[in-house]
Amino acid sequence: MRIEVNGTPRDITATTLADALAELGWADARVATALNGDFVPSSARAGQALRDGDRLEVLAPMQGG
């Protein structure tokens, strides 16, 4: 299916958020996730199904003021 990851269209085979993160190379990364604008805690990623057209945000620590 095709989802949008951080604003970029990506074709993935994973059907859950946890599997998608692994497929995208963020299996062990320190990241926080939001799906279609809502926060998804890391504990809920394995049970979070993905659907075609979903918008996934994967955020990491960054510089800030």
User: What tokens appear for 59 in the block?
Assistant: 């955020």
Is 39 strand, coil or helix? strand
Among 2, 39, 47, 55, binds another protein (CB under 8 A): 39
Q: Of 9, 11, 13, 38, which one interacts with another protein (CB under 8 A)? A: 38
Shortest reach from residue 61's CB to another protein, in Å = 4
Interface pick for another protein out of 3, 33, 48, 50 (rule CB under 8 A): 33
52 binds another protein per the rule CB under 8 A: no
Q: Which residues are CB-contacts of 30 (< 8 A; sequence separation ≥ 6)?
A: 60, 61
Whose tokens are 């190379």? That residue is 25
